[in-house]
Amino acid sequence: MKKPVMLLLIALIAGGFIASAQEGSWLAPSPDFAFLVAHLPQSGTPRWAINGRAVPSFQPTGRLVLPADGTLAGTDGIQPSNKPPVIFEVGKWGSAFRLASGEMVAYPRKGLLDLAEGGVEFWLSPHEDGIRSGLVPPTRLFAYESPKGDFITIQVSDQGVIHGGAIVAKAWESAYSDQASVRGWKSGTWHHVLLTWSASASRMRLYLDGRLMGDTNEGRYLPPDPSGSSFLLGSPYYAIDSVRIWNGFIDGSIAANAVGMSSPPTSRESLLALAGLAPGDIITCEAAGKTARYSYRGPPIANPQPRSGLLPSGTTTFDLSLESSDETTLRYSVGTLLDFASMTPAKNETAGRRHRLAIKGVSTDPSVSTDVYVRAASFPGYVLHLRYRDLPLPPSTFPRIANLWYDGSLDGDPGANLAKLGLLVPSLQSPGEATLRRLHRENPNLLILATSQSFEHFNHEPDVPESWYLRDADGQCICMWPNSFRLNVTIPEVVEYNARRIQKILVDSDYFFDGAFFDSFSADFGAQRDSYGRTFTVDADNDGKPDDPAAFASAWRAGVMGIAARFKELEPVAIMTGHLGEEARLDFLPYFHGDNIAFRTVDVTEGLHPFASLRERYDSWWAAGRKPGVTVIDAGAPNQLGYGYGVYGSWEETRRGIPEGVLDFARTWYPTMRFGLTTTLMNDGYFERHFSDVLYCLDWWYDEFDAKLGKALGPSRLAFESTGSKQLAANGDFEGKGVTPWVLSAHTAVGASATIALEDAGAGGSGSKSLLVRIAAKGNGESYRINLYQGDISLTSGSSYEISFRARADAPRTVDVTVQRRSGEWENLGFAREVSLDREWKDYSFRFEATGSRTDAGLQFFLGADSSAVRLDDISMREVAPEVWRRDFEHGMALVNGTAQPQTLTLPAGYSRLKGDQAPRWQYIIDDGSSNLTLSGRWSEASHDTPAWKVDGPFYHNWGKTSRESSEKGATAEWNLGIPEDGTYTIKAWWTAAPDQADWTRSAIYEVVVRGKVVSSHTLDQSVGGDEWITVGTARLKKGDRPFLRLRNGGTGVLYADAVLVESEARYNDGSAVRELTLAPFDGIVLMKNR
């Protein structure tokens, strides 16, 4: 079998690695077996071969090696061009130098520092411990400057970040990352630094301790002007040891291997990367007439299971299996690297190639890593270093609060809220390992997840093959998010790349991330419209033609599932959650610990989805998802606001683009927040509050978040007892009554054909009979073309109903179940659900709230999407108690009203409201379409509304779908304020900042009227401002006085009437005792037990 092509790196370097091989050999592996090292004579160029085939050679060389062992001269006698005072002190090896003053050591540039292709490498140690907070003394470590003002440098900023940077022709270019922080460094510890650059590749990279920290932030590297005569080294704040100046761009594998050096650099070594070689390969190296031969057997110890990474919470011991290249025995130590003789042997182990070690002493502290070191008796100098960390235990108390893409400072703790979170997903700029470790130490129950944009490749990321991008039928890359192009996940290599890319985030954090948040991870590609609003057709197979939609959808779905499966295989313990598409929820359950249920909470409040669908989606993760469950419900602004003010490339741009008043209303619109939170409390998930999908990361905190409910006392339950109610679906058990009144219809005009019959229920069935529907022909595949239904069912608007049935199919398929009118407009009456069937009998149950009062409702099973036969039994439809749910906790309870009607409950004694000053007791909106608005004179209905997801402004919105306008003198609008109880109220009005706003009146008079008397009056200019709530009156009002707000025109121009917002001075959380409680539609409350 032909071996795959291997990319091999050969580097002729002036550097040192311990050669662990047979005595006298000048060809041996490096300590970590990443390279084969040839110790070369003073002359001659090495020639490498693998299995007799020559390996092409790329050879950057070290032009200056500065050991700093009591002298500033290089190993080849190169002397500095100045003599600044320096201090020689204990180094990484021998001694190191530190500046005694601010003057740096200068060396001649010519012949040493290549500004086009090169690098600078050294070891660095702080003179004093790092500063945890405040400014750090800034300092340069390496610098070159030309007379024309160009320069390149390695420096530490006053924020404690070590980075590479250059200015060329007055333009900045850098290799920078906040992760490269020196704040946690201790005096006497040594850190490896490498800055390397390439003009031909237009790349600059910074490595710190062998890990890539910064990579060409500005997307380019242009070399500085070379007319400068010298370059500089040194710092008064850091000791520097073992400097190497390179004449070529350095591969990251050399940087990683350098960290394992256990002897000082020497000269004349050549390295061949062993990655991709197979045991049994023969490597030869010839130089200066001498030839050395090495038979590669693989590293002495390999294939650890589990690999370095995450362990389940509470793990203190685990079995570690390994393989060795020789018949040998293994030993290990935990926490401290010991020599082989001092390590712990495996119990009763005999020499072999497969091994199992019982590792003990693992820390359960999520802020602490456990280091495990393994040696082999056959090669005791080689160390396999593994590192593990236990996941945090999820919080055992409620509520559990999450924050997605928080972009504030993680160094402090603004408002002390970070310490209260149960789940944190930092912003796209990931924090460093030290910050993550500290967050885990301060909050041991906090889960911290890294963000992954699995489908997008961003401009700042390392290049990928052009063939990996998804293209449209015109051959153009597809941009679905600013500053990125979409990857083609129908390609297996892209699937592997994505899984590895996500894993790399965890590896780079030293596994102090607890898992990954997969953003926009939908198995459905969605609308083919890019971030600029351009429609396109996909050409995933690059044949120049639009793809077959069904074939592309199937291939895309397979690729998405492949990423999830592969990442789980790579990181089997890591937490997996994200923004997952509802359409693939059942497929995602085996891979993910939960979902971030976005949009649905607001959609329910706006009547776009039934509350039961939110509950079912949420609860399904606890029933069948991976454990521990990590599902989040979020709640944002009304959709019209949340997605109506543009699309931006950064959170900062978004904050500037959205009107301040809109953001403030979203933050202080408390009913949706309470509805989302209390729905979340009905199970064990996390709640997250944000503005919308265009702006997360807001540190909004609420009184309810600080409620100390303690542990849950059991699952949630309906707050009202259900009483026996009439069966609305007749003959649902099919026992001896034929099939009447069930009717089967098939649209023969499209070729659909089906039959029904009773048959024995069989094993797993209920009773003796069930209903069989055979699909002879599905027609055009539209599900409604074959319909099993029962009509003449009576429903009452606002009442709650439960539909239940048993079903199975000859093969897995879906069925659409609906309740809708069987005449007239055939409108849906509140229930439509796609149900997945399998070969085994399964029970199904759904709740819904009727959206209309009808006597001609039909319960329908649409079967035309598939030709597999379906069996049904025990079909039932009954009126049930309303969807008001309750869950009890050690110190309180949570209630949520999932209906569109107010619900009044009587509660047991001993409960009180929370104590807080945020939310009004009464907060509600009266829109212009409400029956509470009375218009006099001639008014026209108007709409001033820009569409959702519009890219470019202007942006403006009337509240809801419409507004009202009048040019008639004397026209008035009156809103019945519907005051629920006596008290002081503030009334606010909304008008839109529409383009024709200049024609509106400058004298809109808003009057609060009580018993014919104006108690508050405000005159406002409607031709300016808008798209915010504007206070029009505050007054003490009584419920029995039936107060109203009147709007009239005191000038000329168009009078504009839209929604009004009513807010009470009384507080929702006033600490008062509660025995009877009315919950507004789609609202909730947290109550505490009296102490």
**Domain boundaries 1-60+250-298, corresponding CATH code:** 2.60.40
pLDDT band at residue 42, thresholds of 50, 70 and 90?
low
pLDDT value, residue 530: 84
Residue 9 in this model has a pLDDT that exceeds 60: no
| Mean pLDDT lowest among 7-11, 101-105, 286-290, 475-479 | 7-11
Per-residue pLDDT averaged across 20-46, rounded?
A: 66
Q: Looking at domain 743-880, what is its CATH homologous superfamily?
A: Galactose-binding domain-like (2.60.120.260)
pLDDT value, residue 655: 84
**Hey, what are 47's tokens?**
């020639």
Per-residue 3-state assignment (H helix, E strand, C coil) for 703-760: HHHHCCCECECCCCEECCCCCCCCECCCCCCCCCCCCCCCEEEECHHHCEEEEEEEEE
Residue 21 in this model has a pLDDT that exceeds 50: no
Query: What would the pLDDT profile of 520-562 be if each residue is shown by its tens digit?
Result: 898 888 878 887 778 999 999 999 999 999 999 999 999 999 9
HSE, side-chain direction, 13 A CA sphere, residue 576:
26
Residue 803 in this model has a pLDDT that exceeds 50: yes
Determine contact, residues 461/203, Cβ cutoff 8 Å: no
**Hey, what are 598's tokens?**
């976005």
Domain 923-1064, CATH among 3.30.450.20, 2.30.30.240, 2.60.120.260, 3.30.43.10 = 2.60.120.260
The three-class DSSP label of residue 500 is helix
Query: Who's near 891: CB < 8 A, 6+ residues apart?
Result: 708, 709, 710, 1088, 1089
Residue ranges, comma separated, of all CATH 2.60.120.260 domains in the chain are: 743-880, 923-1064
Amino acid, res. 262:
S
pLDDT band at residue 78, thresholds of 50, 70 and 90?
confident
Q: Following CA atoms 360, 366, 367, 368 in sequence, which dihedral angle do they give, to the nearest 10 degrees?
A: 10
Query: What would the pLDDT profile of 485-497 be if each residue is shown by its tens digit?
Result: 999 999 999 999 9
**Domain boundaries 65-247, corresponding CATH code:** 2.60.120.200
Q: Where are the beta strands (DSSP E) in 186-315?
A: 191-198, 203-208, 211-215, 230-233, 238-246, 269-273, 282-287, 290-295, 301-305, 309-311
pLDDT value, residue 288: 78
Closest CA to 1009 of 934, 927, 924, 922: 934
pLDDT value, residue 1: 31
**Hey, what are 1065's tokens?**
């001075």
pLDDT band at residue 656, thresholds of 50, 70 and 90?
confident
Length of the chain: 1091
Query: What would the pLDDT profile of 135-167 be if each residue is shown by its tens digit?
Result: 889 999 999 999 999 999 999 999 999 999 999
Separation CA 421–CA 413 (nearest Å): 11
Determine contact, residues 1086/678, Cβ cutoff 8 Å: yes
pLDDT value, residue 432: 76
String of DSSP letters for 288-335: TTEEEEEE----SEEEEESPSEEE-TT--EEEEEEEEEEEE-EEEEES
Q: Is 724 exposed, middle or buried (0-12, 13-18, 19+ CB in 10 A)?
A: exposed
Per DSSP, helices labelled H in 332-461 are: 433-442
Query: What would the pLDDT profile of 465-475 be if each residue is shown by its tens digit?
Result: 999 999 999 99
pLDDT value, residue 58: 47
Residue ranges, comma separated, of all CATH 2.60.40 domains in the chain are: 1-60+250-298, 301-390
Query: What would the pLDDT profile of 101-138 be if each residue is shown by its tens digit?
Result: 989 999 999 988 999 999 999 999 999 988 767 788 99
Residue 416 in this model has a pLDDT that exceeds 70: no
Strand 447-452 relative to strand 423-426, pairing: parallel
Q: Is 998 exposed, middle or buried (0-12, 13-18, 19+ CB in 10 A)?
A: exposed
Determine contact, residues 631/606, Cβ cutoff 8 Å: no
pLDDT value, residue 742: 96
The string over 668-695, giving b where at least 16 C-beta atoms fall within 10 Å of a residue's C-beta and e elsewhere, is bbbbbbbbbbbbbbbbbbbbbbbbbbbb
Q: How many CB atoms lie within 10 A of CB 871?
A: 20
More confident residue, 5 or 455: 455
- First-residue to last-residue Cα distance in the chain: 76
Separation CA 1003–CA 1018 (nearest Å): 9
pLDDT value, residue 1014: 97
Place of tokens 């309906």: 718
Residue 28 in this model has a pLDDT that exceeds 90: no
pLDDT value, residue 899: 95
Closest CA to 441 of 367, 389, 370: 367
Query: What would the pLDDT profile of 813-856 be if each residue is shown by its tens digit?
Result: 999 999 999 998 899 999 999 999 999 999 999 999 999 999 99
pLDDT value, residue 63: 64
- Percentage of the chain beyond pLDDT 90 is 73
pLDDT value, residue 40: 67
Closest CA to 308 of 216, 371, 232: 371
DSSP state of 463: P
Place of tokens 């509304």: 945
Residue ranges, comma separated, of all CATH 2.60.120.200 domains in the chain are: 65-247
pLDDT band at residue 689, thresholds of 50, 70 and 90?
very high
Per the prediction, the chain carries an average pLDDT of: 90
- Sign for the pseudo-dihedral over CA of 898, 901, 907, 912: positive
Separation CA 74–CA 242 (nearest Å): 10
Residue 8 in this model has a pLDDT that exceeds 60: no
Separation CA 835–CA 813 (nearest Å): 8
Residue 916 in this model has a pLDDT that exceeds 90: yes
Per-residue pLDDT averaged across 979-995, rounded?
A: 96
Q: Is 939 exposed, middle or buried (0-12, 13-18, 19+ CB in 10 A)?
A: buried
More confident residue, 511 or 41: 511
Strand 972-976 relative to strand 933-936, pairing: antiparallel
Query: What would the pLDDT profile of 740-777 be if each residue is shown by its tens digit?
Result: 999 999 999 999 999 999 998 776 667 788 999 999 99
The three-class DSSP label of residue 553 is helix
- Sign for the pseudo-dihedral over CA of 443, 449, 450, 456: negative
Per-residue pLDDT averaged across 732-737, rounded?
A: 86
Residue 678 in this model has a pLDDT that exceeds 50: yes
Place of tokens 């190296």: 285
**Domain boundaries 301-390, corresponding CATH code:** 2.60.40
Determine contact, residues 99/240, Cβ cutoff 8 Å: no
